[in-house]
Amino acid sequence: MLRIRRIYDNVLPVNKSTLSQVQEILRNQFSQVDEKEIDHIAEKLRNPFKQRFRTILFVAESIKAKVRGFGMLLHEPVLQFAYLDWIATASGRSGAGIGGALYERVRQEVAALKVKGLFFECLPDDAKDCTHPDELKQNRARLRFYERYGARPVVNTAYESPVKPGDTYMPHLVYDDLGTGRPLKKSFAVKVVRAVLERKYAEYCPADYVDRVVNSFKDDPVRLREFRYIKPEAVVAAVESRSVNQIALIVNDRHDIHHVNERGYVESPVRVKSILKVIEPSGLFTTIKPRPFPDKHLYAVHDTDFVGYLKRACAEVPAGKSLYPYIFPIRNKTRPPKEPSVLSGYYCIDTFTPINANAYLAARRSVDCALTAAREILDGRRIAYALIRPPGHHAERRSFGGFCYFNNNAIAAQYLCAYGKVAILDVDYHHGNGSQDIFYRRSDVLTVSIHGHPRFAYPYFCGFEEERGDGEGEGFNLNIPLPESVDREKYQKALTRALHRIEEFQPQFLILALGLDTAKGDPTGTWSLKVKDFAENGRMIGALGMPMVVIQEGGYRTQTLGKNALALFQGLVEGVGRSADSRHASNHRLYGVIFRDTIVPEDRQRVRRLVDITGFFHPEEVDVAEELVVERLEKGEPSGYHFIMAEHYGRLAGYACFGQIPGTASSHDLYWIAVHPDFQGRGLGRRLLSESERRIKAAGGSRIYVDTSQRVQYASTRAFYESCGYRLETVLKDFYTVGDGKAIYCKSLI
Ligand SMILES: [Zn+2]
């Protein structure tokens, strides 16, 4: 079995391996490709507009993640065309239909981008241009393959003319109209040709060559070669693009077995029905059947004994009966009691989430739906919606509650984070305590929640602003609690703040924990969002332009649930569409850095972690970095160590440490400057340095000294100081070891 997956970057190990397999295929199949170009693929993915093209990479891989082929597409959003840079299969696999599957996937993507045409190059299939019989055969097979889609070489132009005298074997430029039947206009074609030659072959094609080729386009519309291999009527040109655009809808088909017929139990089956009734006829969704996933996904975020308990307890409760927790030990310091009715409180946070025969089955199916939605995203879909109940965002690692049993959005996030960083945006009226709990100590999943302040809203015990994450996860949990009365304006201000944080985090995937209980009139909420507010929120979230999994959480006013959900999804689609063409420079935006010069006890561990993770320092040096913090904490100012800490949403992003050199009138030493890898290359080091200089100057300092090693690894450090106005004062030869001297730089502040 083969599946085609889009690769977003090379940040994670799984993609690193995929990418190196792609590079290997390029090396093996195209010996003429420059090694430098092969190396650059990863960078192109990370910096989509570096070449003034957005790079989109698809791989066809086996179940065991072995790459069988890949397609690399360049998208030009301004001129509105796509250029297929590579399509290649691993050796010995060309006959397996992989190329065809990849090309069809590429066409779907291109059609969804709404560009005017797809272009690519193909080596010549005329015997006079290609003297090698095997290659000629291969080139003919390729052009025959593309003819099946109606794609043929542009003719009657100088595109194939040699760049230098003696150049032979020049490729054709092939045009695929994507089944639109649209003729290739000359004005459009020349822009495309210029862009391709100037950007892609910048180092190869001189300007006069580009002009010559561009000026050779005379026909309007530009002519394509006659069909050579197949009959025109045999062309299968239609592109199945709708499915790429549509939102995958995965409904929990077993949700209604979980029906708690008790007064006030608002989490009822009619919720799903009332949403479906409105969204289904919209044409915006395509229904996907939930697929079963193994239990290991539950264990990845929930404690084993908790999962086991829910399964067992639900199975033991007689049909039609519900068991409500009523006694709650102070958790974690107790032993689980034996009596089943008492035991439920050991795993639960409230008195209104019952254990009954069907709760486990329905909740387990919700998990399958959430994972099916996540899977859709991995396969390249932009939005997938798990319309499920029971909801999940109140379920913590080892507890259930708030109508929730398993944390669907956390399980989906955990599943996706093997492929890239994930942000969970929880817009339910109630704080997403479960997801916060599960990812509280992790930095690969960002949790953001906008909710009614716990002072008056469930779950009451958490959701406060100062809960920011812990350890590795410090700064990766953002709570935005809002007052009892919230209108559109207040809400959108909070949402903007949340989206900034997410953009800053640069995730590959977004999970939207969608509670519709923020709506006017919801029996569990106090806010007053209306249909058009949901549409606007959708547009704002969609504009992040990230692939997203939407997971249904709360929302209980059945009269408006459907309308609000539909408005939100229409907004999302609109926002995604708008963002697709405009996301360039956001990679370098750095919002929300705060500098402080006070030191707190937690800085000891933070500094240690940061210095360690940069990978630049020996273990002894890491110890020294920590010792300086300890000195400062113990002795204060007289320690002689001054710090500037750069904090980013409560997380230490970088710091500098400096002090006056004893025995000098006003010379200072810059002892440390370190920036967390996530923030490197974004100007933070420079800001820390100038902030240090400012403070040194204010304290009467006149000269700053900084030393570094002469080794090659420190070339960028040396270049950094030089570019900040530091002069190499002297080198102490063989200082660290033979051949590794100490380079001393100085900057005068007067
Ligand atoms: Zn809620």
Give average pLDDT by consecutive 10-residue segment, the chain, 750 residues.
74 74 88 81 70 82 87 87 91 72 90 88 92 91 93 96 88 94 94 89 83 95 96 84 73 84 78 95 93 96 92 84 72 67 76 82 95 87 93 93 93 92 97 97 96 95 95 94 95 95 90 97 95 96 90 95 97 78 48 87 93 84 93 93 91 93 93 86 87 93 91 77 91 87 92
Alpha-carbon span 478 to 538, nearest angstrom? 20
Backbone angles phi, psi at 106, to 5 degrees: -60, -45
Distance of CA 517 from the midpoint of ligand 1 (Å): 6
Question: Between the CA of residue 56 and those of 26, 358, 689, what are the distances in Å?
Answer: 16, 44, 37
Distance of CA 472 from the midpoint of ligand 1 (Å): 28
Distance of CA 436 from the midpoint of ligand 1 (Å): 15
CA-based radius of gyration for the chain: 30
Distance of CA 400 from the midpoint of ligand 1 (Å): 14
Q: For 50-162, where are the E strands, in sequence order?
A: 54-62, 67-76, 81-89, 118-122, 152-153
Alpha-carbon span 78 to 84, nearest angstrom? 17
CB-based contacts of 452: which residues, under 8 Å, 6+ apart?
Answer: 429, 430, 431, 481, 482, 484, 525, 526, 527
Is 434 in contact with 394 (CB distance < 8 Å)? yes
- 């025969």: which residue's tokens? 357
Distance of CA 553 from the midpoint of ligand 1 (Å): 7
Alpha helix (H) residue ranges in 680-747: 684-698, 715-723
Look at residues 462, 463, 447, 359 and name the one whose alpha carbon lies nearest to residue 405. Answer: 359
Distance of CA 516 from the midpoint of ligand 1 (Å): 8
Alpha-carbon span 413 to 373, nearest angstrom? 11
Distance of CA 394 from the midpoint of ligand 1 (Å): 9
Distance of CA 364 from the midpoint of ligand 1 (Å): 20
Distance of CA 258 from the midpoint of ligand 1 (Å): 18
Distance of CA 263 from the midpoint of ligand 1 (Å): 18
What is residue 63's predicted lDDT score, i.e. its pLDDT?
76
Is 22 in contact with 30 (CB distance < 8 Å)? no
Q: How far apart are the first and last CA of the chain?
A: 69
Q: Helix axis angle, 133-147 relative to 98-112, nearest 10°?
A: 40
Q: Helix axis angle, 359-378 relative to 408-416, nearest 10°?
A: 30
Question: Between the CA of residue 128 and those of 124, 131, 132, 169, what are the distances in Å?
Answer: 9, 7, 10, 9
Encoded tokens for 592: 């929300």
Distance of CA 427 from the midpoint of ligand 1 (Å): 9
Distance of CA 432 from the midpoint of ligand 1 (Å): 8
What is residue 17's predicted lDDT score, i.e. its pLDDT?
83
- The total of other beta-carbon atoms located within 10 Å of residue 89's CB is 22
Is 638 in contact with 660 (CB distance < 8 Å)? no
Distance of CA 302 from the midpoint of ligand 1 (Å): 21
- Residue 557 DSSP code: -
Distance of CA 429 from the midpoint of ligand 1 (Å): 5
Distance of CA 390 from the midpoint of ligand 1 (Å): 12
CB-based contacts of 417: which residues, under 8 Å, 6+ apart?
Answer: 444, 445, 509
Distance of CA 362 from the midpoint of ligand 1 (Å): 19
Q: What sign does the CA torsion over 409, 415, 420, 421 have? A: positive
Alpha-carbon span 674 to 657, nearest angstrom? 9
Q: Give the max Cα distance, the chain.
A: 91
Distance of CA 267 from the midpoint of ligand 1 (Å): 10
Look at residues 502, 497, 436 and name the one whose alpha carbon lies nearest to residue 469. Answer: 436
Active-site residues, by number, are: 394
What is residue 587's predicted lDDT score, i.e. its pLDDT?
45
Alpha-carbon span 103 to 89, nearest angstrom? 11
Distance of CA 430 from the midpoint of ligand 1 (Å): 4
Alpha-carbon span 495 to 475, nearest angstrom? 18
Distance of CA 16 from the midpoint of ligand 1 (Å): 39
What is residue 29's predicted lDDT score, i.e. its pLDDT?
81
What proportions of the chain, in percent to the nearest 5, are helix, strand and coil? 40, 20, 40
What is residue 714's predicted lDDT score, i.e. its pLDDT?
77
Look at residues 161, 85, 169 and name the one whose alpha carbon lies nearest to residue 120. Answer: 85
What is residue 574's predicted lDDT score, i.e. its pLDDT?
86
Distance of CA 515 from the midpoint of ligand 1 (Å): 6
Distance of CA 467 from the midpoint of ligand 1 (Å): 19
Distance of CA 399 from the midpoint of ligand 1 (Å): 17
Is 476 in contact with 446 (CB distance < 8 Å)? yes
Distance of CA 457 from the midpoint of ligand 1 (Å): 10
